[in-house]
Structure 1
Amino acid sequence: MQLATTTAIITGGASGLGEATARHFAAQGAQVTLLDRDATRGPQVADEIGGHFVETDVTSETSVQVAIEFALSKMGHITATVNCAGIALGIKTVGRDGPHPLDAFQRTIDINLVGSFNVGRLAAAAMAQNTPDEDGARGVIINTASVAAYDGQKGQAAYAASKGGIVGMTLPMARDLASSGIRVMTIAPGIFKTPMLAGLPDDIQAALAADVPNPARLGDPSEYGRLAAFIIEMGYLNGEVIRLDGALRMR
């Protein structure tokens, strides 16, 4: 697979890692369809990169089915799926206000984990209809975990559980889809300068960056996009999780 001939759907494509990935893909000649709930920012990004946008709830089977049909109508087929949609809540298991709200835990799992699987399974069904290349490849799915899957911090029970689930499903999904020529990979980012972190005071950002061994800075979302591009083109990468974290081990 080559990025210049890739037709990709990217969830969470209106901001952060998803937006950076969409911009990098489009700059390299790929066709891109953004799936996001942000019906204001999403169309703007799509217009700027010459892509497409469809408002999507990744937790809804119907919404994702409609989004995939839309992407197929615009691009002809789908060869890559990058799941960047997600939320992060900071709530302790038992805090000052009592036990962790169960609905908040469930929502985190639904969006981060179930949403990634929902998009992946439906995209895989579409990819399976592609004509295989000389290597038998029909497509690739890239999910987004986090270093929190391994080193979850206080208040990250829900987030770490959702990202740990993504790590855990990487290999079995890759095995399930091997006969269809579809690869499954996961990127586990460290601390990246996404809109959520960019809004923090400079001294807090500096403190977070100081924990990263080398380079001692926050990750740039474009670096995630470049790794996703490398995964697409490196056809022998499959069923693996790649940490992208500057050797960060949170404690």
Structure 2
Amino acid sequence: MKIEGKTYLVSGGSSGLGAATVEDLLAQKAYVSILDRSPPSEALLSSSNVKYFQVDILEVSQIQDAVDKTAQWVKETGAPIGGVVNCAGVGVAGKIIDAHNEPHSLDLWEFAIGVNLTGSFNLTRLALKEMVKNQPEEGDGERGVILFVASAAAFEGQPGQTAYSASKGGLVSMTLPMARDLSRHGIRVVTIAPGVFDSSMTANFSQKTRKSLETEGIIYPRRFGQPFEFARTVRWILETPYVNGETIRLSGAGRLPGKL
């Protein structure tokens, strides 16, 4: 897909991997609609190619409002919605039975599933109503791309990651059937499963935890992934029509150890 002159909805686009993706899309002369609870940096807000909508991804009405307003913006710019990048997510931790023999919090489970899985599903299904109206591009007749962000924890979750792993595993599991559903519309579906990246989630890791992951969990290069590397992967996916129905691991050949 040609990125320039298209509009992309990026949830969680105000910081971390989402913000890096927004910056890269803007560099490719795209328009970006940011959906996030917190506003992005002034540098991003100052761009005429950016719209920010304050959205709690758990609230369907807020997602719908942002999609509707993005569709209105598209009418003004003439830049059709080319894709959705679902970067909004939360990291949660809780043993299924804790040290006091208390069961896992149901509220914590529902929060993880609600944000990471249901939130991504809702933004995608609502944006698709607009995307299927696009004129197909020349060649393969492509109309757009849906991109989910899973995690290495979808495959080898660590102790305390039952809810988090389930939410990310759900994204992996729905990638292929959704790609098959949307093939008749010329819309691709791809998931990225990052390993350990420098982000707000990992910023509070202790030095011991960080060293353990770098020396035991990551093969090469032995460091945390950088947001720009994620953003470049998004760009490659958007620009490569044959990438469809796949989950792509971005991990430095790393695997999360069973125990830190």
Does TM, normalized by the shorter one, top 0.5? yes
Instruction: Find the aligned partners of 1:235 and 1:49 in 2 and give their Cα distance.
Output: 28
Among 103, 106, 119, which residue is 2:107 paired with?
Answer: 103
Instruction: Find the aligned partners of 1:44 and 1:184 in 2 and give their Cα distance.
Output: 31
Give deviations 1:49-74, integer Å, cap 9, x for gaps. Answer: 44110011222221111101111222
**Runs of at least 5 residues in structure 2 that lack an aligned partner in the other structure:** none
* TM superposition shift of 1:165: 0.3
1:178 partner SS:
helix
What is the total number of aligned residue pairs between the two structures?
249
* TM superposition shift of 1:45: 5.4
Equivalent residue number for residue 241 of structure 1:
247
Q: What are the within-5 Å matches in structure 2 for residues 13-24 of structure 1?
A: 13-24=13-24
Determine if contact 1:19/1:45 at 8 Å carries over to the other structure.
no
2:125 partner SS:
helix
Q: What are the within-5 Å matches in structure 2 for residues 1-251 of structure 1?
A: 1-38=1-38, 41-42=39-40, 44=42, 46-50=44-48, 51-76=50-75, 77-97=80-100, 98-134=102-138, 135-210=140-215, 211-251=217-257
The amino acid that maps onto 1:196 is M
**Runs of at least 5 residues in structure 1 that lack an aligned partner in the other structure:** none
Distance 1:181 1:124, change over 3 A: same
Determine if contact 2:91/2:201 at 8 Å carries over to the other structure.
no
1:99 partner SS:
coil
Instruction: Find the aligned partners of 1:205 and 1:153 in 2 and give their Cα distance.
Output: 15
Instruction: Find the aligned partners of 2:233 and 2:198 in 1 and give their Cα distance.
Output: 16
Instruction: Find the aligned partners of 1:45 and 1:203 in 2 and give their Cα distance.
Output: 35
2:146 partner SS:
strand
Instruction: Find the aligned partners of 2:88 and 2:55 in 1 and give their Cα distance.
Output: 10
The amino acid that maps onto 1:248 is G
Instruction: Find the aligned partners of 2:56 and 2:71 in 1 and give their Cα distance.
Output: 18
2:171 partner SS:
helix
Instruction: Find the aligned partners of 1:70 and 1:207 in 2 and give their Cα distance.
Output: 45
Determine if contact 1:83/1:142 at 8 Å carries over to the other structure.
yes
Determine if contact 1:43/1:53 at 8 Å carries over to the other structure.
no
Give deviations 1:101-145, integer Å, cap 9, x for gaps. Answer: 001001100110001111111111110011111221111000000
